[in-house]
């Protein structure tokens, strides 16, 4: 991998990790269109550490508050004593489903499910699910049903969104896409759904990145050039990812996710057309 390729992949990761359009799909599609090799599931997981850094930096006050509250709760024997402590515990519990599913279906996730046919179909299907979530939100607002803020997220929301996050293991689904969709279906405000999505991603992205770095270190760090490329892609993804978080939260305060729904459908249809016309290989 050249440094230019690493920079391009880092930009793609940073731009698409937090927007509900699937970073994994774009890291699979764009190299294929450019005639590059598939960077692979391990490379994708490791450079997500860069976007993990973006979340830690952007939400450092929330994370510090939750971590402090959890530690205090452990010391005092009141683990769920405050809202911050409860939120921290819920994020940990909400991560369990994706860890279990990720381990059980690890081989399929890294091989079969990276087919561009799967990605194309997943892009379209999740767009329709997100459209359904937006429709139900519109209906709630018409009936003057109040939407939930992040502070009102409880165990039910935590578990449902946690299980929804499992679908992010399918390339094309989008981690933020499935969790934001889950949040909207449960009646959360758009911005609150996005904030909870980003916070919920912290444990699983960290675990996946470290696991893949250790497991595939010989391939990922085979040479000094490979190591530099991996580092460059990770750093670039972090910088771009921070800007992407700020953009999305600001955008969702005033707008729906319609632009992302239309984009997903357009990309999915275009990709299927290229595959069916054999202008692009599926694997």
pLDDT value for 37: 84
**DSSP, residue by residue, 214-236:** HHTHHHHTSSHHHHHHHHHHHHH
Report pLDDT for 178. Answer: 94
Enter the tokens of residue 165: 């996050």
Q: In the chain, where are the structural domains located?
A: 3-276
**pLDDT at 9 (0 to 100):** 93
How large a percentage of the chain has pLDDT more than 90?
A: 57
Nearest to 102 by CA among 166, 154, 171: 166
CA 162 to chain centre: 12
pLDDT digits (tens, 9 = 90+) for 90-99: 999 999 999 8
Q: State the Rg of the chain over Cα.
A: 19
Is pLDDT at 27 greater than 90 in this prediction? no
Q: Given the structure tokens 């940073």, which residue do they identify?
A: 14
pLDDT band (50, 70, 90) for residue 146: very high
Select from 161, 92, 123 the least CA-distant residue to 23.
123
Specify the range with the lowest mean pLDDT, choosing from 108-117, 163-172, 174-183, 228-237: 108-117
In this structure, are residues 71 and 258 in contact, taking their beta carbons and an 8 Å threshold?
no
For the segment 237-263, what is each residue's pLDDT rounded down to a tens digit?
999 999 999 999 999 999 999 999 999
What pLDDT is stored for residue 156 in this prediction?
Answer: 93
User: Would you call 68 exposed, middle or buried from its count of C-beta atoms within 10 A (0-12, 13-18, 19+)?
Assistant: middle
pLDDT band at 1 (very low <50, low <70, confident <90, very high): confident
* Structure-block tokens of residue 22: 């699937």
pLDDT at 17: 87
């Amino acid at each position: 991998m050249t440094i230019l390729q690493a920079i391009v992949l880092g930009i793609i990761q940073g731009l698409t990790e937090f927007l509900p359009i699937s970073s994994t799909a774009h890291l699979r599609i764009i190299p294929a269109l450019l005639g590059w090799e598939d960077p692979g599931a391990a490379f994708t997981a490791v450079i997500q550490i860069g976007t993990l850094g973006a979340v830690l930096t952007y939400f450092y006050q929330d994370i510090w508050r939750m971590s402090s509250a959890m530690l205090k709760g452990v010391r005092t024997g009141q683990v769920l004593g405050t809202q911050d402590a409860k939120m921290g515990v819920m994020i940990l519990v909400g991560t369990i489903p994706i860890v279990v599913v990720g381990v059980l279906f690890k081989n399929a996730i890294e091989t079969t499910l990276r087919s561009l046919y799967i990605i194309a179909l997943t892009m379209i299907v999740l767009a329709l699910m997100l459209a359904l979530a937006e429709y139900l939100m519109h209906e709630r607002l018409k009936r003057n049903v109040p939407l939930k803020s992040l502070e009102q997220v409880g165990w039910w929301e935590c578990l449902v969104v946690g299980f929804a996050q499992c679908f992010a293991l399918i390339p094309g689904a989008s981690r933020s896409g499935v969790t934001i969709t889950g949040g909207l279906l449960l009646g959360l405000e758009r911005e609150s759904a996005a904030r909870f999505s980003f916070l919920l991603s912290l444990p699983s992205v960290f675990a996946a990145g470290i696991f893949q770095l250790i497991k595939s270190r010989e391939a990922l760090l085979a040479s000094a050039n490979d190591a530099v490329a991996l580092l460059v892609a990770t750093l670039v993804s972090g910088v771009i990812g921070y800007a992407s978080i700020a953009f999305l939260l600001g955008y969702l305060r005033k707008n729906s996710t319609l632009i992302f729904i239309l984009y997903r459908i357009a990309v999915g249809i275009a990709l299927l057309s290229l595959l069916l016309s054999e202008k692009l290989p599926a694997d």
